[in-house]
Amino acid sequence: RPEPEDPDFITDPLVGTFVLVKGGIMKLSDPYTAGANSFYMGQTEVTQAQWRAVMGNNPSYFKCDDCHVEQVSWNEVQDFLSNLNGRSGGVRYRLPTEAEWEYAARGGILSKDYRYAGGKKIDKLAWYEKNSENSTHPVKSKLPNELGLYDMSGNVFEWCQDLYLSTGTHYAVRGGCWYSHMDCCTPSYHIGYHKDAKEFFVGFRLARTP
């Protein structure tokens, strides 16, 4: 597969590589429309090794340094962000909004309007119910999307910054997971979990302001 078209990458020694998602306008799943602002998105979800480097522990059910951290609540992710931002020299890390997440999953300005994040053939792109063998898998073990982002479909759901509804205590997750049906691995699918929920199929990916 050819490399993405001249992407900009930056690397943080603690939390890995980030891809510049150039701003643009794209109609997303109702009611989201991506705006014109550019941002950086983590090339992978936060791994267990990266979580341990920041937090000093590993809460994951499926133990594997190169796998996505899971069993972390939305509130615990906020603690992770506070610790990370406290030692990042002024760089601000955060969770992506739902609109940012979907825009990046669809490939941003390089989007080819695929059904899944990066293509039409899900088995090449995602770990889901039919190929995961009921487990998470290491990052970068499937093909990336147009921007060079991995696992935007499948493996583990990803927390977003937004409430699932306009009020309440449930926050949105995106992307599907290792036990999901393929329809849940599309960029438009979302669901909500309580901010204190710790599930072995939910992790997160970082965004970074330029």
Q: Which residues of 84-112 are buried (b: 16+ CB within 10 A; e: fewer)?
A: beeebeebebbbbbbbbbbbbbbbbbbbe
Q: Mean pLDDT over residues 156-165, rounded?
A: 96
Amino acid at 199: E
pTM, full prediction: 0.92
Are the C-beta atoms of residues 19 and 9 closer than 8 Å to each other?
yes
Residue at token pair 């970082």? 206
- 2 pLDDT more than 60: no
pLDDT at residue 70, rounded to an integer: 98
| Measured distance CA(124)–CA(94) in Å, rounded | 29
Asked if residue 35 has pLDDT above 80, the reply is: no
Average pLDDT over residues 103-126: 95
* Residue whose tokens read 């009921």: 134
Q: How confident is the model at residue 126 (pLDDT cuts 50, 70, 90)?
A: very high
Q: In the β-sheet with 157-163, what is the strand arrangement from edge to edge?
A: 190-194, 170-174, 157-163, 202-204
Which range, of 29-33, 74-78, 83-87, averages the lowest pLDDT?
Answer: 29-33
Structure tokens at 156: 């583990």
